[in-house]
C-alpha cells in the first residue's frame, strides 16, 4: 500500500491486524474477525509497517523471508519459495 504521509496506510493495516479497533464495521481474515479472534486471524497475514524498518537491507529478499518465517516457527526445511 502506497500513499502520502497521513493518508491512513498504517492505520488501515493496524486495523486489519487487530491492533486498532475500527469505529465501525469489521475486518475478517479467512473467516476470522480480526478484533474478536485476533490470534486466529493474524496467522493468515504478514505486514511490514513503517517503511523498511522491519526488513534488513543487507539481506536478500529470500533471506528476509526465511528470517521472518523463522520468527513464526517455520523451519528452513519447511520454507519454500515458488
| CA 53/CA 23 separation, integer angstroms | 28
pLDDT of residue 50: 56
Tens digits of per-residue pLDDT, 37-50?
A: 888 888 888 765 55
Same domain, 41 and 67: no
Q: Does 52 have pLDDT greater than 70?
A: no
**Looking at the structure, do residues 67 and 35 belong to the same domain, yes or no?**
no
Q: Can you list the positions of beta strands (E) in 1-82?
A: 28-29, 32-33
Enter the DSSP assignment of 45. -
22: domain range? 1-47
- When divided into structural domains, the chain yields a total of 2
Same domain, 24 and 61: no
Same domain membership, residue 59 and residue 43: no
Query: Do 43 and 66 reside in the same domain of the chain?
Result: no
Tens digit of each residue's pLDDT (9 = 90 or more) over 22-34: 888 888 999 999 8
Amino acid at each position: 500500500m502506497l500513499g502520502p504521509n497521513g493518508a491512513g496506510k498504517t492505520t488501515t493495516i493496524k486495523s486489519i491486524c487487530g491492533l486498532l479497533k475500527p469505529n465501525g464495521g469489521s475486518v475478517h481474515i479467512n473467516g476470522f474477525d480480526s478484533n474478536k479472534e485476533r490470534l486466529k486471524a493474524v496467522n493468515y497475514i504478514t505486514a511490514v509497517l513503517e517503511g523498511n524498518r522491519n526488513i534488513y537491507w543487507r539481506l536478500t529478499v529470500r533471506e528476509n523471508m526465511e528470517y521472518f518465517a523463522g520468527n513464526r516457527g517455520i523451519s528452513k526445511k519447511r520454507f519454500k519459495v515458488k
